[in-house]
């Protein structure tokens, strides 16, 4: 066990993948000499060379498009998109090529591409640096989408993503990069929890609280706070956003009868909608109340002086738990 920051844990996972498979190639803007603007790839170019850790020209469609060609040739490209808001120039290559190639060729051509995306807000950045674009990709058939919430998962799941023969979007909660955690670097991939599986990170009986990425920590804090009030909240870290491990969520909701979902992305059309809809379909008769969504608002990510209002925090989540439980909450008295 070693104590690593989130960023170092990803770095260690990348290193392990580079070591174990010569076909793994890292590519992106400023990932080489600089080691990435968040230092996630720090030292890797020095140790593995400029051919395996490639500083690319400044063009995101170019990064993903050439990764497609490299995958065609048998490589496993790991692409870094510098910030969430810079993934859109590559959207066409991701949606029309990366996601569809395996289906298009009926399995003849695999796309084992990992796309690393530092995402989410809370770091006081200017526009386009705090987005949560995951729902665009979870709605895109052919992609796998995961998000990690702690250094151990970060370490393990980056390796699982790279080892996957399917394309994986790997969303890194950038505001947690400096958080530290215990990481077992000797853990075997073979025995690790499948990256398709969610994890119950806090057991509880009164309500189910679903989160992923940066908000897992907030959700756990909220559960602790709720416990002080005598409310027992079960917290689930989704880990996989596409596909979502609904059986795990379902089992929890069958037990609690109440569901709260939280994410930073805008509410309308966000992952919360899919979770609410699917869980309602799967266990309607167990639900005591409508699923509650505590999310970012339907606004472009606001400038940093306002971001704390946009981002779900402990209090807003607790307010949502109260709503799910039919306790007094900010919307009490409103119809619906």
Ligand X SMILES: Cc1ncc(C[n+]2csc(CCOP(=O)(O)OP(=O)(O)O)c2C)c(N)n1
Alpha-carbon span 211 to 37, nearest angstrom: 27
Rounded to a whole number of angstroms, the minimum distance from the CB of residue 171 to ligand X is 17
Residues 305-324: x where in contact with another protein by CB under 8 A, - otherwise, as a string: xx--xx-----x-xx--x--
Choose the contact partner of 330 out of its own copies, another protein, ligand X, none; CB within 5 to 8 A by kind: another protein
**Beta strand ranges found along the chain (DSSP E):** 2-5, 24-28, 53-55, 76-80, 114-119, 144-147, 168-173, 180-183, 199-202, 207-211, 233-237, 240-242, 259-266, 292-296
The footprint of its own copies (CB under 8 A) covers 61, 85, 88-89, 91-92, 95-96, 99-100, 103-104, 127-128, 135-136, 138-142, 242-243, 250, 265-266, 268-274, 276-278, 280-284, 287, 289-293, 297-300, 336
- Number of residues that this document lists for the chain: 336
Residue 1 beta carbon to another protein: minimum distance, rounded to whole angstroms: 30
Q: Which is nearer to its own copies, 278 or 329 (CB)?
A: 278
Binding residue (CB under 6 A) for ligand X from 1, 58, 109, 331: 58
Segment 232 to 291, residues that bind another protein, using CB under 8 A: 242-247, 267-268
Closest CA to 267 of 276, 280, 278: 276
Residue 129 is among the residues annotated as catalytic for this protein: yes
Q: Would you call 143 exposed, middle or buried from its count of C-beta atoms within 10 A (0-12, 13-18, 19+)?
A: buried
Work out whether 69 is an interface residue with another protein (CB under 8 A): yes
| 250 or 307: CB nearest its own copies | 250
Rounded Cα–Cα distance for residues 116 and 147 (Å): 10
Q: Say whether 116 sits in a helix, a strand or coil.
A: strand
Task: Return the SS3 of 15.
Answer: helix
Is residue 155 a contact partner of residue 4, using CB atoms and an 8 Å limit?
yes
Q: Does 106 bind another protein (CB under 8 A)?
A: yes
Q: Is the peptide bond before 194 cis (omega within 30 degrees of 0)?
A: no
Q: Which does 310 bind (CB under 5 to 8 A by kind): ligand X, another protein, its own copies, none?
A: another protein
Residue 140 contacts ligand X per CB under 6 A? no
> Could you say which of 102, 129, 263, 310 is catalytic?
129
Which residues are known to be catalytic? 129
Applying CB under 6 A, the residues found at the interface with ligand X are 29, 58, 60, 82, 86, 89
């Amino acid at each position: 066990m070693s104590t690593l920051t989130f960023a170092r844990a990803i770095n260690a996972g990348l290193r392990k993948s580079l070591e174990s498979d010569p076909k793994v190639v890292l590519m992106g803007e400023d990932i080489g000499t600089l080691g990435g603007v968040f230092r996630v790839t720090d030292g890797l170019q020095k140790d593995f060379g400029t051919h395996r850790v490639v500083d690319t020209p400044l063009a995101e469609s170019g990064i993903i498009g050439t990764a497609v060609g490299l995958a065609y040739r048998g490589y496993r490209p790991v692409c870094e998109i510098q910030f969430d808001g810079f993934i859109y120039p590559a959207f066409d290559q991701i949606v029309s090529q990366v996601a569809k190639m395996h289906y298009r060729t009926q399995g003849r051509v695999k796309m084992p591409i990992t796309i690393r995306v530092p995402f989410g807000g809370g770091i006081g950045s200017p526009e386009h640096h705090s987005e949560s674009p995951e729902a665009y990709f979870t709605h895109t058939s052919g992609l796998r989408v995961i998000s990690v919430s702690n250094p151990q998962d970060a370490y393990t799941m980056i390796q699982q993503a790279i080892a996957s023969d399917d394309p994986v979007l790997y969303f890194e909660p950038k505001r947690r990069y400096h958080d530290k955690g215990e990481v077992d670097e000797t853990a075997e991939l073979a025995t690790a929890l499948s990256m398709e599986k969610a994890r119950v990170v806090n057991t509880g009986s009164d309500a189910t609280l679903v989160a992923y990425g940066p908000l897992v920590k907030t959700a756990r804090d909220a559960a602790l706070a709720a416990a002080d009030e005598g409310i027992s909240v079960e917290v689930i870290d989704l880990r996989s956003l596409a596909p979502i491990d609904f059986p795990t969520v379902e089992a929890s909701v069958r037990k609690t009868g109440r569901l709260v979902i939280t994410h930073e992305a805008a509410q309308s059309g966000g992952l919360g909608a899919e979770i609410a809809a699917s869980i309602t379909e799967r266990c309607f008769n167990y639900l005591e109340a409508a699923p509650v969504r505590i999310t970012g608002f339907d606004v472009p990510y606001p400038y940093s002086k306002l971001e704390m209002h946009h981002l779900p925090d402990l209090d807003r989540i607790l307010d949502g738990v109260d709503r799910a439980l039919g306790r007094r909450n900010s919307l009490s008295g409103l119809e619906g």
